[in-house]
Structure 1
Amino acid sequence: MGLRYYNALTQVIIVGFVCFLCPGMFNALNGTGGGGQLDPTAGNNANTALYSTFVVFGVLGGAIVNLFGVRWTIFGSGFTYALYSGSYIYLNHTGKSSFTIAAGAILGVGAGILWAAQGMIMVSYPREEQKGRYIAWFWIIFNLGGVVGGILPFAINYNSDTGSLSDGVYIAFVVLECMGAFMGLALAPPAKVTRDDGSSVVLVKYTNVGKEAMEILKLFINPLMLGLLPMCFTSNFFYTYQFDDINGALFNVRTRGFNNIFYWGAQMVGAYALSFLLDNARFSRKKRGVIAFGIVFVAFNCIWGGSLALHNKYPSGLELTDRIDFKDSSRAAGPIILYVLCGLGDALYQSFAYWIIGALSNDNQLLARYIGFYKGMQSFGGAIAWQLGAKHVTVLNQLIANWVLFGISVPSMLYVVWRIQEHSEPIGVGKEDGSESEQYGEKEGAGQRA
């Protein structure tokens, strides 16, 4: 079937390109280590500020999207990414990090709202048997942004490896992120979107501020959300270690960009490969979840084992005065392969997490809140991790923390997987209060009253 504007897949692809241009560029910038600066302290402090506000607005993001809709919330949120990238130009010229840290805090607000809207679209628009595929389509497009963002510093700094990214790279990021913000306006009102079987993606009741506040509070006593909490907390914790202590500490600037091309490329491969399992009708949903859990478990233990081996090779803390260039194959091959495998593991982890959440319900409003909770608790872990980097906690201790946190998340992750039902509650049959739900009118937002 060809793509139509109001088709659910078309909308997932559009939001994928928004994230390609906004968080995709942010990921590329972050992946260079320290926001592309020789000294990562400013970038680490900015990320701490970012994830601190992200904690709050991640949790609140689902309610905000339910109240105001997806188009304008994504549009406004996109510009916070451009502000953050642009702040590094000021840092380049003044050496003062205050603006970058403030821009990080503002980005946390925008990112929390944007990701709640994105997650709601990605996991509630497809049919149950298509959720793994839609997650993969999104993840491929989104991480293509990281690939392109890796090409920029690699190409621009190829013959001028100064240690920090040039103004030209940051300006390119700002332009692309502004384009992503405007692309948010291209999204269709959810009330008009249909699945490929002709069903509406939106069949929920109207909401208001009081209801949203109450439903957000309920998340913190929901056994399934509490079961996912360790997984949420861990799911971005490892970025500080991977970006700063492997890519940022071991490699020169152009090689960091080179590495990110393959890091984010591996994310595309990982999400696509896992989708074949997550949507495989030959297995029950619970069995698919258990197998995917096993894959994630093995992959991350291999990654952390490889990281320990790398640490033992560079026991001084992975900080090299003679940084590795990609052309020095004898030194570069092993660390680059490990870094690329980190990207593959991240895609497996994130795709699996989104699939679990999508398997818990088909309700747009409920899934917006679930995704918001996931992103909020994820950012809580991220804020702590980036501050560990800013405080120069030893690389070995950061590695141990990552491995231990993953181990802690395993039992509760398996508990939630074991609770997955073969079919989520059909939309339109019953809601939390037991009443029958109603379809949207022509309003865009999930929370706008008629």
Structure 2
Amino acid sequence: MGFLPYFAAKTQIVILGFICFGCPGMFNALNGTGGGGQVDREAGNNANTALYVCFIISGLFGGAIVNKCGVRFTMFISGLTYALYSGSYIYINHTGKSWFTIWAGAMLGLGAGIFWTAQGMIMMSYPLENEKGKFITIFWVIFNLGGVLGGVILLGTNYNHEGSLSDGAYAAFLAIEIGGSLCALVLAPPSKVVRTDGSHVEIKKVENVMSDAIAILKLFADPWMIILIPMMFSSNFYYSYQFGPYNGSLFTTRTKGFNNIWYWGAQMVTSGAFTRLLDRQSLSRKKRALYGVLITLAVVNAVWGGTLKMQNKYTHGALATTPPTPTDYPGGAIDFKDTARAAGPCILYACMGIQDALWNNMAYWLLGTITNDASRLARYAGFYKAIQSVGAAVSWQLDAKSVAFRTQLIVNWVLLVISALLMVYLSFRVKEQTDGEDHGDFKEKYVDSDSEQDVAAQV
């Protein structure tokens, strides 16, 4: 990579990666165990529902807050809510009471909406046209190292422990998440960031947070956003099934951590390979978009088809009854040391990580083709996360309400296929070059004109 000046866009993406490595990266590893690492997933499922309901609100207002207050302190403060959430499970371990974790989930939802809006604005506005895929890869690899490290921590701290995660595991997550939030203070102000071609990132100053929030709501009239709503809705929807009915129900405690290493590790490799296609200049932008979506659709069908084959073998995981009821999967919970039983199910879980990387990389890349305006991209990021959170809130309640695992699987599969087909349609409307607030082939009348009245300034 060589020496990178502090204000270089690529340097800032690396810093952003480490912030997310420490905060949502650890959260993903913890969530990936199902129920936040508790045998009884009810508290974790309800906490996630509270999280994503609050995320909807903060996601809609996130663009206005980030545009008004800047990225450094908004990411620092919101990053601390991840530590609050992880630490709350220590309280459950000692009291058996879930209220604090549910409240912490709500606080995390408020913080995460702002956090991911800032991340999305940086991620989509700092790279040049031909660098968007490469910058996504740099970020995605560092970010998912957090999930890999989290899996290692879970495996190590629970190697000889069965049941809910230990206090030590939760404490380790809390400490790393505090470190990740502190990294946010190292970010440079966007106005000082220099792109590869020497240009600067321009941010339009927001004087009225409410008017900017209203501008985000007006995105419901934007044709790109309307067509992408199913993709946004589904982009975190499948986590509930993958982390709970699959990883949380089929495997021993230490194997859940082992699986997370490969789930997030597979994302790192996939992102690197996939974005080489998305940035390949020998192909037109339309072809790159179309090929990317078709590859994603093919992987979606392969992964969920294999998952259905597995799902037909069981109906529930371990239940926190007295005495505890084991899973009805043939032979009981799967341990990674039993290679003959574990190889197929563990590899399938890693393939779920591949599908997740393809889906989210494709989503960010498509959003990045709409405009290069950083303020508008902050709104798009907030809108994206708000809609994503609606889907996540619904999906976590499906598991909390004990909806049949097979039903959850079918809902996920159908939703992803419908979303991918709409993404195929949009692939034909992608323009070769995005300038300012160009929306591809859609007419300018759909573009929110209020943003043109903002006073151009730098935050």
Q: TM-score, normalised by structure 2?
A: 0.92
Q: Quick one: distance in 2 between partners of 1:185 and 1:95?
A: 36
Q: Contact 2:124 / 2:368 at 8 angstroms: preserved in 1?
A: yes
Spell out the pairing of 1:346-361 with structure 2 (5 A cutoff). Answer: 346-361=356-371
Kindly provide the amino acid, as one letter, of the partner of residue 235 in structure 2: S
Cα drift, residue 147 of structure 1: 0.2
2-structure distance, mates of 1:392, 1:427: 45
Is 1:18 the equivalent of 2:19? yes
- Listed one character per residue, the Cα deviations across residues 400-441 of structure 1 (whole Å, up to 9, x for unaligned) are 11011112213322232222111112489x996496997644
* DSSP-derived class of the 1:360 partner: coil
What one-letter code is carried by the residue in structure 1 that aligns with 2:197? D
CA distance in 2, matches of 1:92, 1:324: 24
Q: CA deviation at 1:206?
A: 5.1
Q: State the secondary structure of the residue aligned to 2:372.
A: coil
Structure 1 counterpart of 2:398: 388
Residues 221-278 of structure 1: per-residue CA shift (max 9 Å, x gap): 1110011000000111100110111111010111100110000000101111111011
Matched, 1:303 2:303: yes
Judge which range, 356-365 or 315-324, deviates more: 315-324
CA contact (8 A) 1:311 1:317 kept: no
Conserved? CA contact 2:87–2:170, under 8 Å: yes
Aligned to 1:279: 279
Match of residue 70 from structure 1: 71
| 1:346 alignment partner AA | D
| Aligned mates of 2:422, 2:196 — CA distance in 1 | 35
Contact persistence 2:248–2:317 (CA under 8 A): no
What's 1:378 paired with? 388
In structure 2, the gaps of 5 or more residues are 319-326, 439-443
Query: Could you report, residue by residue, the CA deviation over 1:298-343 in whole angstroms, capped at 9, with x for unpaired residues?
Result: 000001100111112x233465263111001111111101100000
Correspondence 1:121 to 2:122:
yes
Determine the structure 2 residue equivalent to 1:264: 264
Greater displacement, 282-291 / 212-221: 212-221
Tell whether 2:217 aligns with 1:217: yes
The verdict on how the C-alpha distance between 1:59 and 1:6 changes in structure 2, with shifts beyond 3 A counting, is: same
Q: Is the CA contact 1:131–1:355 (under 8 Å) kept in the aligned structure 2? A: yes
How many Å separate the matches in 1 of 2:186 and 2:14?
Answer: 11
Note the C-alpha offset of 1:171.
Answer: 0.5
Structure 1 residue 199 displacement after superposition: 0.5
How far did residue 17 of structure 1 move?
0.4
The CA distance in 2 between the partners of 1:366 and 1:426, in whole Å, is: 10
Contact map agreement 2:315 2:404 (CA 8 A) in 1? no
Range that drifts further, 182-191 or 431-440? 431-440
Contact 1:203 1:437 in 2 (8 A): no
State the AA in 1 paired with 2:314.
P
Matches within 5 A, 1:38-77: 38-77=39-78
How many residues align? The count is 439
Whether the 8 Å contact between 1:318 and 1:395 is mirrored in structure 2 is no
Could you tell me how far 1:207 is from its partner in structure 2? Answer: 4.6
- Checking the alignment, whether the CA contact within 8 Å between 1:317 and 1:396 is kept in structure 2 is no
Shift in CA distance, 205/106, structure 1 to aligned 2, threshold 3 Å:
closer
- Provide the rounded CA distance (Å) in 1 between the counterparts of 2:147 and 2:112: 16
Is contact 1:147–1:261 with CA below 8 Å preserved after alignment? yes
- Contiguous gaps of at least 5 residues in structure 1: 446-450
CA distance in 2, matches of 1:31, 1:342: 12
Residue equivalent to 2:324: none
Q: Is the 8 A contact 1:66 1:207 kept in 2?
A: no
Amino acid at match of 1:278: L
Q: In structure 1, what residue type is equivalent to 2:253?
A: V
In structure 1, the residue matched to 2:333 is: 323
**1:342 and 2:352 aligned:** yes
Opposite residue 162 of structure 2, the aligned amino acid is T
Contact 1:11/1:188 (CA < 8 Å) preserved in 2?
yes
What is the letter of the counterpart of residue 296 of structure 1?
T
User: Could you list the per-position Cα deviations for residues 347-395 of structure 1 after superposition, in whole angstroms to 9, with x for gaps in the alignment?
Assistant: 0000000000011110000001111111111111000000011111110
CA deviation after TM superposition for structure 1 residue 284, in Å? 1.1
Relative to structure 1, the CA distance from residue 437 to residue 96 in structure 2 (aligned partners, 3 Å threshold; closer, same or farther) is: closer
Q: Secondary structure at the match of 1:255?
A: helix
What's the secondary structure of 1:188's corresponding residue? Answer: coil
Say whether residues 1:289 and 2:289 are aligned partners: yes
Partner of 2:441: none
Change (3 A) 1:377 1:40: same
Displacement of 1:289 in angstroms is: 0.4
Whether the 8 Å contact between 1:8 and 1:195 is mirrored in structure 2 is: yes
Q: Which residue of 2 aligns with 1:448?
A: none
In 2, Cα distance between equivalents of 1:346 and 1:74: 24
Residues in 2 aligned to 1:432 and 1:383: alpha-carbon distance in whole angstroms: 28
Contact 1:154 1:255 in 2 (8 A): yes
**C-alpha contact 2:154 2:257 (8 A) present in aligned 1:** yes
Does residue 180 of the first structure (1) align with residue 180 of the second (2)? yes
Measured at CA, do residues 186 and 390 of structure 1 come closer, stay the same or move farther in structure 2, by a change above 3 Å?
Answer: same
- Alpha-carbon distance in 2 for matches of 1:248, 1:169: 17
Question: Which letter maps to 1:105?
Answer: A
Deviations 1:84-121 (A, max 9, x none): 00000000000000110010011001110000000110
- Percent identical across equivalent pairs? 55
